Amino acid sequence: GRNLVSDPISNKGLAFPLSERDRLSVRGLVPPRILSIQEQERVIMDEYTRGWAARAEQEPEDEIIKSGVSPDNIRKWKVLQSVQDRNETLFYRILMDNFQDMAPIIYTPTVGWACSHFSQLYRRPRGMYFSHGDRGEMASMVYNWESDEVDAVVITDGSRILGLGDLGLGGLGISIGKLDLYVAAGGFHPRRVLPVVLDIGTNTQ
C-alpha cells in the first residue's frame, strides 16, 4: 500500500474507492473521504490560480495571519514540504543545520495555517488516518504502515489545535510537525515514527 500511494503513476489520491482501499492495503494511508479525480482537480486549480501566499494576503482577518504568520512563512513551509517529499535525508539535514530558524516554520506557529488549510494539501501521504468508520478495524489497518518498529507515535483528534478550534482531520499537521522536530532535535529515526489522526468528526459546522 505504501509503495502504491508513493507511486505517481498508480496513485489516485483520494479517488480510491473503499473496496480498493482494503484490497490494495491503502486504508488508513489516505484520508477516509473519497474525492473523484475531477474534485481533486478543482482543488489543485484553485491553488494554481490563487496560490497559498496570495490567499494568505487576501485573508487579513484570518486568526493565524493576525497572529504573525506571514505569507513568506507559508512559502517557506511549502518549500520545506516539497524537499521532504523528494529527499528526507536532505530535509532533515537542512532542518538540523537551521533548527532555530526553521522550527517555527515546521511547527508552531506556521503549521497552524497549514492545519487550517489541510484539505487543500495534496502531497505524498504522511501518517495514518483512522475514522469513526474504522472502528474495530484499526488493528488490521495498522499493518498497512510501512514500518513494523515504531518508537514514537503522536496522535491527535484534531480538536483545540493551537487555539484554532476543532480542525478534525486537519490536525494531522500537528502530529507530522511535532515528529519532524523529534527526528531533527531528538534523534528519532524518520522510519520509526508514526503521525496519527483520529478523525471522529468535529463540533463545528
Q: Which residues are annotated as a binding site for (S)-malate?
A: 160
Let me know: does 106 contact 80? Beta carbons within 8 Å: yes
Q: What sign for the dihedral angle of Cα 130, 45, 167, 158?
A: positive
- Per the structure block, which three cell numbers stand in for 20? 480498493
Could you list the active site residues?
107, 178
Pairing of strands 193-199, 128-131: parallel
- Spatial distance between the Cα atoms of 58 and 84, rounded to a whole number of angstroms: 28
- Spatial distance between the Cα atoms of 153 and 73, rounded to a whole number of angstroms: 27
- The angle that helices 88-97 and 99-106 make with each other, rounded to 10 degrees, is 120
Q: How far is CA 55 from CA 47, 96, 107, 108, 117, in A?
A: 9, 30, 20, 20, 11
